[in-house]
Amino acid sequence: MSNAYPVKKAKFIERPNRFLAKVEVNGQLIEAFVPNPGRMNEFMIPGKQVFIRHNSASHRKTTFDMIAVNHNGVIVSIDSNLPNRFIRHLLEIHEFPYLNDYDEVIPEPNVYEGRFDFKLKGSETTLIEVKSCTLVEQGHALFPDAPTIRGARHMRHLARAVTEDIAQHAAVIFVIQRPDANIFSPHDGNDPLFGNSLRMAYRTGVDVIPLVTRVTNWDLELVGRIPFDLGPLDRF
């Protein structure tokens, strides 16, 4: 999954919009793409150390991606696309320890006029949705850090797929892109609709898999699965 371009340290200056950051490298002001639509207020602080990498794609308006931040000494990946690639790699080499008994990994299967991230085919079918999580407060990982109508819809569709036997199993994987979390919960303060949809999905039989990772050589490395607390299942 590695990228050939080297990673550079930079100083965060400002975030004019969701997908654009201005950073400083050796006294030079550079614009970088932010590959994450979340608020990330705890990271977007002027003067904070961030990490950027060149991106040579021809359609780009900027030539750098801001891929990580140094948050109180913890390197946090903020690339919301990386968890999907990370999980796909583990599934394809059969080194994902929490799901097994499958022969084929199908990316982006069409279900209910939409798509999930993966379908596993074997003696039974499993549907998977992957979510990127970067917000951790005192060891407590929280998702989402901004309202996500799409995320709530994914939870409802996973539950429906299991109920209607389109898939015999379903799972939502929360990839926590930092190593300092020890429990996961939905962030009801930011998005009670998502939290309620997740609780409904869990009650229906959808597996909730929160994973802690660490940044190693600018890729993700699996640390392990952590427990979760969804709150009362009839909340809200």
CATH, residue 38: 2.40.50.580
In terms of Cα–Cα distance, which of 232, 169, 225 is closest to 200? 232
- Are 50 and 164 members of one domain? no
Is the pTM value of this prediction over 0.85? Answer: yes
- Are 98 and 46 members of one domain? no
| Domain-ending residue, one of 77, 107, 127 | 77
Is the pLDDT at 60 greater than 60, yes or no? yes
Residue 186 and residue 87: Cα distance in Å, rounded? 20
Asked whether residue 116 is domain-assigned, the answer is yes
Residue 49 and residue 28: Cα distance in Å, rounded? 15
Look at the chain and report how many structural domains it folds into. 2
| Domain-ending residue, one of 20, 44, 77 | 77
Confidence class of residue 91 from pLDDT cuts 50, 70 and 90? very high
Q: Average of pLDDT values for 61-77? A: 96
- Are 24 and 66 members of one domain? yes
Asked whether residue 177 is domain-assigned, the answer is yes
Is the pLDDT at 232 greater than 80, yes or no? no
- Are 46 and 157 members of one domain? no
- Are 52 and 113 members of one domain? no
Residue 186 and residue 193: Cα distance in Å, rounded? 10
Asked whether residue 1 is domain-assigned, the answer is no
Average pLDDT of every residue of the chain: 94
Residues 6+ apart with CB under 8 A from 139: 180, 181, 182, 183
Q: Which domain holds residue 129?
A: 82-225
Quote the pLDDT of residue 1: 56
Assign residue 129 the CATH number of its domain.
3.40.1350.60
Residue 164 and residue 31: Cα distance in Å, rounded? 47
- Are 62 and 114 members of one domain? no
- Are 161 and 179 members of one domain? yes
Let me know: does 18 contact 34? Beta carbons within 8 Å.
yes
Asked whether residue 195 is domain-assigned, the answer is yes
- Are 216 and 99 members of one domain? yes
**Residue 2 or residue 213, greater confidence:** 213
Is the pLDDT at 4 greater than 70, yes or no? no
- Are 170 and 104 members of one domain? yes
